[in-house]
Amino acid sequence: MYLGQEYVIFPNWAIIHFTENNGMAFGMELAGYYGKLMLSLFRVFAIAGLGYYLYWLVKHKQPQLYIYCIAMVFAGAFGNIIDSAFYGIIFNDSYNQVATLFPPEGGYAPFLFGRVVDMFYFPIVQGHFPQWFPLWGGEDFIFFRPVFNFADFSITVGVSLIVLNQRKFFAESSPETIAENKKLPQEENEIKTN
């Protein structure tokens, strides 16, 4: 596919839309050479940290669902850094053409400077804001506007599950649970003496 090419799966609802993201989520980016380098290095260190944390969770037998959530975030982040690190090396530019795998002249970017490929687009609801609406009055709106990939989906699901289950996952560190755990040994001693 070339940049901007689309395959409509379900009209105005589900579209495969080929795009390349130079930065991070929702197209935000740190400008220039050093901005891209800092972003790529941050991703590498974040993935290393997540990998170690995942290892620690498994080793200490933490809740299974929490391990799965962190694994989803890790896998998504790892997939995106692979795109960013290698896509620019193995493909040429896809502007107005289908990209070539291993072009003789080399790729479009050096290691860690490639773009992440996004392709899923779900413009579920489209319309116009009324004129009286603050800030965006009279403008078009689309929900859900971002184009994303499977790695982004994996990160989003993992983080969403962590947020929805935070009380269950982090109950041991809450003040109430710590207080209950401190009371338990005293109560056991009272039962034994009675």
Q: Write down the pTM of the prediction.
A: 0.77
3-state SS string for 39-64: HHHHHHHHHHHHHHHHHHHHHCCCCH
Catalytic residues: 118, 152
Q: Is residue 108 part of a domain?
A: yes
- Residue-level pLDDT at 58: 95
Is the separation of the CB atoms in 114 and 83 below 8 Å?
Answer: yes
Residue-level pLDDT, tens digit, the chain, 194 residues:
777 788 888 887 888 888 888 877 656 677 788 888 888 899 899 999 999 999 999 999 999 999 999 999 999 999 999 988 998 899 988 877 888 888 888 888 899 888 888 889 888 888 888 889 888 888 888 888 888 899 999 999 999 999 999 988 888 655 555 555 556 555 555 555 55
Question: Could you list the residue range(s) of the whole structural domain that residue 117 is in?
Answer: 6-193
Q: Is residue 164 part of a domain?
A: yes
Angle at 152 (CA atoms; ends 145, 96), nearest 5 degrees: 65
Q: Is residue 1 part of a domain?
A: no
The domain tally of the chain equals 1
Q: Is residue 11 part of a domain?
A: yes
Residue 146: other Cβ atoms inside 10 A: 14
